Structure 1
């Protein structure tokens, strides 16, 4: 595929977390967390913990009690339980009992009806479409319920603290080169944005340390890049700490105070309202792309409903997943000021060297289709609820000898880019 491509590395410019602003650049660091809770005491790790209680220090017993209380609050009674081929347990929970409706401003409410899609949106709701491993069981959640990936005590115990569980941790750095978060991203800013749409290539990158992750996602961003930073995020990630394995999983995230006290992954707190009974947020994606073989990508669209102001999420080809209520946010109640697409990894340097955790396919952008990972058909939603092509797209690879990015445009893929890399190599010590 012929394309003009450029790579830009702002080695000396600061960034905030995974977000980069041309006018105000500050480096912002985050970290992964753990997974999702269980209301049932049948889990083997739960029984082991119970049997050993009398031999545990008082502080640890207190922590276990807090964990069980948290799990009981988050995990809701299931009308049906499905065992996924990868070991996940999927609980079919009545829609109005999902964690979102524990929120004071949502108590007693029911999920909203589907909103108007952005103009220029050409996808159709494919009823037979399946992008997740748990559906290979042949089972499905009945109408009126949503599939929730169950989290066990074992999942929570992988996090260093209960407070850290299910959250990205705020950590500001002003020197990009010292940050343990590394990025290869494309972004637009300087305008008012009401959403974004893209297709993201799915791989199974190797994550070499249990406290590292590799993700590819869309960020919808607003705020001053201080304590009031608002973000909505969705894509796929491999996170052994969060999920306990190396599978790529569909995930969401949100925060309204720069990852300090608000927000969480997936449905691990009250906030995101799920409306779909066929997609489980946090469940493994299947199939995946293979090097020099079949390529597989997923569609992700986030947009602001002009009628109610909530931010809706679509996955695949027209599958509405649910929405983030507008009251969760401050700046995002009106619009976004930046949209970002791309990859991020964590480099703990636990071996004393740069990590070998891969981004995307684990191959550099130059290798192109079938080998490098890609984002294609990048679009944003404007004030008129219309999907439009990007203009003035900026690129950032903050460690280009480890992970890089190159962009192009053509009539089939519109705006696109290849990105990623292997991490540690002869040029990335």
Structure 2
């Protein structure tokens, strides 16, 4: 099927002209060098025996661990230590949201431990931060070999309707997300990626709710409508989202209060700016009239700003944007 109502952005992506500007060459996926899928089929990353054996259990294969959502309203140090997840995000809450969009700078951060990851994504959230949390997530992730068997930067999606307990998974590893596109593969490597003081590459992701059918659709770039999450998967998101988040997340698995050196974004702090630090630009939300709007009341949140930080801004070319990330372990973040 196709969405009944297709969203168009407020910003013309071809007019982004901040100097220095992002590299204009298109991002592709590495599997494209081997051909394309025939009409009427979709690409699915093959699950091999080694993939399943790397998981902690067959039941947990393709699933996130609990407490993977940043909670700006309750930055409880005990919760932070328990979760092991750290974030640097921008967010909006207090209204009904029907989607979100962002253009996300793509990097290849270094991962320290075998069970850690670094990702940059948007979250579309409904319900409380308890066991009934609904979440739709999309972006890029640089994962230790635990999930994919290599260290490539990959496009990914995730969903859950019960705070990661029994529902949801990455990409197409369980029933849920219905893909309709034959050219983009979920979980496949992205190429090229940005380099420090060199060419910058970014991807655009839009998720919006079809006002007629109620499904949540995902678009990659300006040309690829990838598929949808059916509304029946969710309770709160069957109506609308109550919070949107954009930003980075890492897992810190170091024991005894020590900090991982796993990088977020480019591994550089926000104040270093373009070409050095990682960014989200043209961040927008979808309102009740199915229009893309600039976010109002944009807040920021990070658990430990001396490890990973976030700084927002706005201008005519990039709309609302922010730089984010950091190196993790450093003299101020031991």
1:121 Cα deviation (Å)? 5.4
| Greater RCO, CA 8 A, separation 6+ | 2
On the 8 A contact 2:270/2:325 being kept in 1, the answer is yes
Q: Is 2:317 the counterpart of 1:421? A: no
Distance 1:377 1:285 in 2: 21
- 1:274 is matched with 179
1:151 Cα deviation (Å)? 1.3
Which of 141, 147, 169 aligns to 1:237? It is 141
- 2:91 is matched with 187
The structure in which a higher percent of residues are helix is: 1
Unaligned runs of 5+ in 1: 1-111
Q: Is 2:216 the counterpart of 1:311? A: yes
Q: Is 2:127 the counterpart of 1:223? A: yes
- CA displacement, residues 275-326 of structure 1 (integer Å, 9 cap, x when unaligned): 0000000000011001001000000000001121100000122210000000
- 2:246 is matched with 341
1:421 Cα deviation (Å)? 0.5
Distance 1:369 1:231 in 2: 30
The root-mean-square deviation of aligned C-alpha atoms, in Å, is 1.8
1:154 Cα deviation (Å)? 0.5
Distance 1:239 1:394 in 2: 27
- 2:19 is matched with none
Larger Rg: 1
- Cα gap change, 1:130/1:200 in structure 2, threshold over 3 Å: closer, same or farther? closer
- Cα gap change, 1:350/1:115 in structure 2, threshold over 3 Å: closer, same or farther? farther
1:114 Cα deviation (Å)? 3.6
- 1:166 is matched with 62
1:397 Cα deviation (Å)? 1.5
Q: Is 2:45 the counterpart of 1:149? A: yes
Aligned pairs for 1:346-385 (under 5 A) are 346-349=251-254, 353-385=258-290
1:164 Cα deviation (Å)? 1.2
- 1:326 is matched with 231
On the 8 A contact 1:183/1:396 being kept in 2, the answer is yes
Distance 2:129 2:80 in 1: 19
Which of 377, 389, 405 aligns to 2:310? It is 405
TM-score by length of 1: 0.71
Unaligned runs of 5+ in 2: 14-24, 69-74
On the 8 A contact 2:67/2:163 being kept in 1, the answer is no
Structure 1 SS opposite 2:89: strand
Count of paired positions: 314
Aligned pairs for 1:18-37 (under 5 A) are none
- Cα gap change, 1:311/1:171 in structure 2, threshold over 3 Å: closer, same or farther? closer
- Cα gap change, 1:385/1:171 in structure 2, threshold over 3 Å: closer, same or farther? closer
- 2:16 is matched with none
- 1:73 is matched with none
1:188 Cα deviation (Å)? 0.1
